[in-house]
Amino acid sequence: MGLNSKVDISSKVLAMAVGIFDSGLGGLTVLDAVIKKLPEESFVYMGDNLHAPYGVREPSDIFDLTIKSIERMWDENCDLIILACNTASAAALKRIQEEWLPKNKRVLGVFVPLIERLTKRNWGDNSPPREVDIQNVALFATPSTVASRAFQRELAFRAIGVDVESQACGGLVDAIEDGDIILAEALVRSHVDALKRKMPKPQAAILGCTHYPLLEEVFQDALGKNVQVYSQANLVAESLSDYLKRHPDLSSTNKPKNRFITTGDPAIVSMRASQFLKRSVEFTSA
């Protein structure tokens, strides 16, 4: 299975775990939230740091990289995987679910909980689209997520009359991954200014990349206190908790144990991940 030698496989079968995947470190914001919400579960976090960022790649490339990582996480006994990567969710998830995914596996994205909260209706609600309270929405995301228009497509199934103005935040993921917070904060303010030139008074702002919650306070300050900022981590945690209640067969069965794997340099990724989460995190090679 290509497992790192540090992983104990003496039992031959690894304990079932929920997979959390991201192209880099941004998904750690989601992981942290789901661990706090579901401390009884085991999680495997995989970062495709070798190929990050995904946000500037073509959809076909994103699809190929994503399914390769999904298959690697199956080796870790993850029958349920959360794509904690908005770019992968936007550019690849629909194709993965419709054309590629085996029936005994589950792969979910991060847009659904966000749209549920924004429209105040559950995903299973198939009634016609209707008007919602929020009419002007700013979407901050990677270039690939913006180009996919996946957020607008999914929102249109449930709401009418919502004006979504997107801002591709070029360079922001790289700055966060590199730990250059001064540059990252400057980029946030620049991108917010650019968005406001197109939509002067947004009612709500979507942080459409799991890296961005690390700078949520900067986004909020730049947007102003009257703008509701929606961050995904806690929404995904709540949604996953509900999903596992409805699908208990996908829950962990043994004592919780979290594992971290990466396609990048484990030492470098471990150091940066520890800085992200403000606690020690040790990655092994994927």
| Cα(17)–Cα(69) distance, integer angstroms | 15
- Quick: pLDDT tens for 52-65: 999 889 999 999 99
Q: Please give the full DSSP string across 65-121, using - where no structure is assigned.
A: HHHHHHHHHHTTT-SEEEE--HHHHHHTHHHIIIII--TT-EEE-SHHHHHHHHHTS
Q: Please give the full DSSP string across 247-269, using - where no structure is assigned.
A: -GGGS--SS---EEEESS-HHHH
Query: DSSP class of residue 157?
Result: T
Question: Per the residue annotation, which of 209, 227, 229, 269 is the catalytic one?
Answer: 209
Whole-number pLDDT of residue 11: 39
Read off the pTM: 0.86
Based on the residue annotation, tell me whether 169 is a catalytic residue of this protein: no
- Quick: pLDDT tens for 113-145: 888 888 888 766 778 888 999 999 999 999 999
Based on the residue annotation, tell me whether 85 is a catalytic residue of this protein: yes
Whole-number pLDDT of residue 158: 87
Residues of the chain with pLDDT below 70 are 1-14, 123-124, 253
| Cα(21)–Cα(6) distance, integer angstroms | 20
Domains in the chain: ranges and CATH: 18-109+234-285 (3.40.50.1860), 112-231 (3.40.50.1860)
| Cα(41)–Cα(43) distance, integer angstroms | 7
Question: Per the residue annotation, which of 18, 46, 81, 85 is the catalytic one?
Answer: 85
Residue 1, classed as helix, strand or coil, is coil
Residue 41, classed as helix, strand or coil, is coil
